[in-house]
Chain A
Amino acid sequence: MTTIDPTRATCPAPQAETERVLLGHGSGGQLSTELLDDVIIAELGTAGPLEDAALVGIADVDAVFSTDSFVVTPRFFPGGDIGSLAVHGTVNDLAMRGARPVALALAYVLEEGFPLAELRTITASVAAAARACGVPVATGDTKVVGAGAADGVYVTTTGIGVRLRDAFPSAAGGVPGDVVLLSGHVGDHGTAILSAREGLGFEAEIRSDSRPLHDLVAAMIAAGARDVHALRDPTRGGLASALNELAAASEVAVEITDADIPIRPQVAAACELLGLDPLHVANEGCLVAFVAPGSADAVLSAMRGTEAGQAARAIGTVTGGPAGQVTARTTVGARRVVDVLIGEQLPRIC
């Protein structure tokens, strides 16, 4: 029999890795924010809320401008591929500023030895997705790097759009009293990618939700106009990161109800098994919105009338609580804080 010796009850002082890029810096969580704030924005000297796309005034037209790079493993997954994802990602970033996409630029970084057949397939997917969105690929660039210097292909899409009439959504636009609307199920994309990447062999196929959201946004603006205060598509970092970012930029608090968040049973089961929180898992085909209460019902109804918004629901409200705080009412009736992940979400041991 033993007793615990309190003098042995000590703990380590770790030296955190601070001077190298970690995989977690690309996760959409706290590490991503630190990289942006401390390294990139600090050097560029820009300021203001971090929006999905920038508004650029060009001779009486509000042009909206955004760029994004896509690095995904595997490149083909249930529900999409890197090509369609690159189109949807940028079209959706423009849409989150209330814009209709006008033109896309496409850039490839290709690794020496990459099969041309696969490049053709990816490019055909880019073309099909762009056609479906009604936006031409107007310009582009291709670079090849030596074998081993890249992982097959990296795709960058840059998009330019025009702001819809009476559309002024901004990450900083939320006000207390707004209703929080979610357009569809969360967790599909990240779980599909993880499942395909790791060959986990879940019986029920889980498909990425990758899809364009500009028609959904157009319907929302038509129904709510300036009452659509803030929009964000919860990609990396999931719904939890998106809500935290909007709450911080708008200097408001957000309260959601766990039971109101639509999660497909197979996604919930996969997340449960892997120890992942569906609120932290990436999406590519849904959006969260802060909408003035007077227009919330009309906007919700308009969302449900579109293909991308059939499962839309009100999931909470914006309050005047502590700026940046996101809380959830749990299924047993208590309250918890919905935090942002630090880096990658790592599967649990048990």
Chain B
Amino acid sequence: MKYLDEYRDPALAVKLLAELHATATRPWAVMEVCGGQTHTLVRQGIDELLPAGIRMIHGPGCPVCVTPLEVIDKALAIAARPEVIFTSYGDMLRVPGSAGDLLGVRARGGDVRVVYTPLDAVRIARQHPDREVVFFAVGFETTAPANAMAVRYAADAGIGNFSVLVSHVLVPPAITALLDAPDNQVQGFLAAGHVCAVMGWTEYEPIAARYRVPIVVTGFEPLDLLEGILMAVRQLEQGRSEVENQYARAVRRTGNTAAQEVVRRVFRVTERNWRGIGPIPTSGLALAAEFSAYDADTRFATTGVRTEENPDCIAGAILRGTKLPTDCAAYGTRCTPRTPLGAPMVSAEGTCAAFHNSGRRPAPSTVEEIG
């Protein structure tokens, strides 16, 4: 397949791995921020081919995983209302709230539909003027422009029965928060290529300079990741801390300015709670005052939703990179993709689910030690 096969070439992979083995003289810990990259790493078994000292830490970049529990609970409450058609990207349907998930709401008669773009949700609103159509607007900088466009389109077209439940998160503040954590182990980052395709990488430059960490904008194919890791390790070995772009075929330094403009117009920056991590200032997007009429949260007055958290889950440590899924006593036993206890087991791109789906099993000694 053009533009894909060339990034999966086994001969080139062998060459990049050999170069990586020749470059790495010391142990290094590199975090891939994005869940899509975690998925490729684990699915292709790339982390097992790396030099022994090079450790990949799987970051918090799965939008499904980090959507806070209270927002999921609000989604469940809204979706259960008889007048509502609740629309969402597919992978939010299995995310457990305090009492079940959206698939369960659908099985009990709720009108929950999968859409591929928020504009489909606007179209449904137009087709069903007697119903309230809500779109679950989650994700990183990547999905924000399309969601902003949907709100603007609905506003311009005067569609009053459409609203969005917003829980957008932003990557750079999360990276900063991870680096500020006292138990931080991350020495270099692979930044998510698609986020940078929208936002560019100027926001990363002060972070790289201040914390002296290399940040490599990286794509999602196996060879992208191998090359991104090589570029990060090369910087670490040479004592450099710059922002470099591995994903030049898709990303420019300034990103997509038209997309940034529509996001700036429709959303405002706000503090956001990250599931498994906690609140991070300026790390989220909410609807700007001008578009507050499209806020499902206020339209359906979902205040008073009570959430229940499980203290056994070590999701926070996994999302910070201080523990591996296989370090968890519940991993693969009480906590599986069928019965997820925590955020990283929920989405296929969550770290725990990526491990589990690829057959990583807990080491017996680890289980005894923790359990």
Which residue numbers of A lie inside 8 Å of B, CB to CB?
1-6, 8-17, 20-24, 30-31, 198, 200, 259, 265, 268-269, 272, 274-275, 325, 327, 330-337, 339, 342-343, 346-350
CB contacts (< 8 Å) of B337 on chain A: these are: 342
Whether A339 and B359, one on each chain, are in contact in the complex, defined by CB atoms closer than 8 angstroms, is yes
A4 and B44 alpha carbons, distance in the complex (Å): 31
Whether A17 and B100, one on each chain, are in contact in the complex, defined by CB atoms closer than 8 angstroms, is yes
Known contacts A4-B177, A5-B278, A350-B142; 9 additional CB pairs below 8 A are A9-B320, A14-B339, A15-B98, A330-B45, A332-B8, A332-B45, A334-B44, A334-B45, A339-B359
Known: A14-B98, A330-B45. A348 touches B103 (CB 8 A): no
A14 and B99 alpha carbons, distance in the complex (Å): 6
CB contacts (< 8 Å) of B226 on chain A: these are: 332
Identify which of residues 305-351 in chain B touch chain A, using a CB-to-CB cut-off of 8 Å.
Answer: 307-317, 319-320, 337-343, 347-349
A-B contact pairs, 6 of them (CB 8 A): A6-B183, A11-B275, A331-B10, A331-B44, A332-B8, A334-B49
CB contacts (< 8 Å) of A20 on chain B: these are: 104, 107-108
Whether A332 and B49, one on each chain, are in contact in the complex, defined by CB atoms closer than 8 angstroms, is yes
CB contacts (< 8 Å) of B275 on chain A: these are: 11-12
Whether B278 and A333, one on each chain, are in contact in the complex, defined by CB atoms closer than 8 angstroms, is no
Whether B43 and A332, one on each chain, are in contact in the complex, defined by CB atoms closer than 8 angstroms, is no
Which listed residue, B90, B183, B310, B320, touches A11 by the CB 8 Å rule? B310
A348 and B194 alpha carbons, distance in the complex (Å): 14
Whether A346 and B316, one on each chain, are in contact in the complex, defined by CB atoms closer than 8 angstroms, is no
A6 and B177 alpha carbons, distance in the complex (Å): 12
B259 contacts A by Cβ under 8 Å: no
Whether B45 and A335, one on each chain, are in contact in the complex, defined by CB atoms closer than 8 angstroms, is yes
Whether B94 and A17, one on each chain, are in contact in the complex, defined by CB atoms closer than 8 angstroms, is no
B145 contacts A by Cβ under 8 Å: no
Which listed residue, A3, A10, A336, touches B43 by the CB 8 Å rule? A336
Encode contact with A along B8-51: 1 for CB under 8 Å, 0 otherwise: 10100110000000000000000000001000001111101100
Whether A349 and B359, one on each chain, are in contact in the complex, defined by CB atoms closer than 8 angstroms, is no
A343 and B339 alpha carbons, distance in the complex (Å): 12
Chain B interface category by residue count:
35 or more
Known: A12-B310, A348-B91. A333 touches B4 (CB 8 A): no
Whether B91 and A24, one on each chain, are in contact in the complex, defined by CB atoms closer than 8 angstroms, is no
Whether B139 and A349, one on each chain, are in contact in the complex, defined by CB atoms closer than 8 angstroms, is yes
Whether A17 and B309, one on each chain, are in contact in the complex, defined by CB atoms closer than 8 angstroms, is no
Whether B182 and A8, one on each chain, are in contact in the complex, defined by CB atoms closer than 8 angstroms, is no
Closest partner residue, chain B, to A21 (CB atom): B107
A268 and B5 alpha carbons, distance in the complex (Å): 11
Identify which of residues 65-104 in chain B touch chain A, using a CB-to-CB cut-off of 8 Å.
Answer: 69, 89-94, 96-101, 103-104
A343 and B91 alpha carbons, distance in the complex (Å): 12
B114 contacts A by Cβ under 8 Å: yes
Identify which of residues 335-371 in chain B touch chain A, using a CB-to-CB cut-off of 8 Å.
Answer: 337-343, 347-349, 356-359
Whether B341 and A14, one on each chain, are in contact in the complex, defined by CB atoms closer than 8 angstroms, is yes
Whether A350 and B281, one on each chain, are in contact in the complex, defined by CB atoms closer than 8 angstroms, is no
Whether B338 and A342, one on each chain, are in contact in the complex, defined by CB atoms closer than 8 angstroms, is yes
Closest partner residue, chain A, to B192 (CB atom): A350
A11 and B331 alpha carbons, distance in the complex (Å): 13
B200 contacts A by Cβ under 8 Å: no
CB contacts (< 8 Å) of B103 on chain A: these are: 17, 22-24, 343
Encode contact with A along B164-192: 1 for CB under 8 Å, 0 otherwise: 00000000010011101111000000000
Whether A9 and B276, one on each chain, are in contact in the complex, defined by CB atoms closer than 8 angstroms, is yes
Q: Closest Cβ of chain A: how far from B311's Cβ, in Å? A: 6
Closest partner residue, chain B, to A9 (CB atom): B316
Whether A13 and B317, one on each chain, are in contact in the complex, defined by CB atoms closer than 8 angstroms, is no
Known: A9-B320, A11-B342, A333-B10. A22 touches B104 (CB 8 A): yes
Whether A12 and B342, one on each chain, are in contact in the complex, defined by CB atoms closer than 8 angstroms, is yes
- Would you list the 8 A-B pairs with minimal beta carbon distance, nearest first? A9-B316, A334-B45, A337-B359, A14-B96, A8-B278, A11-B313, A11-B342, A346-B90
